[in-house]
Structure formats: structure tokens, C-alpha cells
Amino acid sequence: MRSETAFVGDSVYVEKVTAKVGSGLVSLETVRAPMAVAVLGFTGEGRVVMERQYRHSLGRRLYEVPAGTVREGEDPASCAARELEEETGYAPLKLRHVGTLVPSPGLTDEIIHLFVAKVGRRRRSRPSEDEIISVHLLTVEDAIRRVLNDGPADAKSVVLLQMAKLDPSISSWAGAP
């Protein structure tokens, strides 16, 4: 097996590998990405905290759950709390890890840790300068509709919203904090 770095960006790099598969050699490329988090926040009124964010890679805005990249030395739970508050203004009162997602294993090694949170009162959000975000409080059903009907559906949002709909241990978080 032979490996080389084909591209280095600010947050990802592409690794090109020539490997023996079966009786032949194949060329494989993998986008090496940092660990990430996604968090579905529930208000005391049972609404979920969603955002509509511009995504340059698609040239459009998508309905999504708050998410972001884990910084070096940061644990996923701290990152989830930070991203939720920075992007939406909602700080978690309680936070729980509910799973791990590999969004596109044929292309990238990205791992996304999934969280649910009970949130308190909204404060001022502080999105990064490259983030254009509007915050929406929706029922789980309305959030699922918007994510699925808004064009290409964001995988991490679909997974967390379906978990909230189907798993009583998660849907119970829709009650008062």
C-alpha cells in the first residue's frame, strides 16, 4: 500500500492511497476531517432549536441542527455546548450524548457525535463571521418536514430528528427543563 497527501486545506486534507483489493491495485481518496458534533436542543415548551444556514458547498440555505468542529484538546460535549450557544444563543441546561454518526464513509473519515440538550432562555448568539444563520423553534414534526422538503436533506439533522421522534428516552427531553 502506498499513501500520499494529495491536498491540504485549512481544516481538512485529502489522502490518496494505492491499495491491493482482490487481485488488483485500486486508487482511493479519503478526505481526512476533524471530529464534529451536532446537537438537538429542546426548549421547555417542547420545541426544537433549528437553524437555517447558508452552505457554500451547495450554494443554498439548509435547515439543520446546530453543529461544529471539535477544537484540538476540546471534548465533544464541551464543543456541543459551545456550538449550540454560539450559533443559536441557547445554552444547554442539560446535555446528553445519544450516538455517533459517520455521514459519508465512502468519502471521509469524519465522525459526528450526536447530542440532545435541554435549553434555557435565549441570549445573544455569536456565529462565526462565515456563518449566516437564522434560528427557528419548531415542533419535531415540522422540523423533519422542513429538513426533508428543503432540498438535499442534512444527514445529521435527519438522524437526530428521527431519533427524537422514535426514541422515548430522547422525546422525553421535550418537557420542561
Q: Give the catalytic positions in this structure.
A: 129
d(CA 166, CA 43): 18
The number of beta carbons lying within 10 Å of the beta carbon of residue 131 is 14
Distance in Å from the first CA to the final CA of the chain = 53
Q: Which residue has the cell 435549553?
A: 119
d(CA 150, CA 133): 15
| Spatial contact of 129 and 147, defined as CB atoms under 8 Å apart | no
d(CA 75, CA 112): 12
- Which residue in 108, 39, 44, 47 sits closest to 76, CA to CA? 39
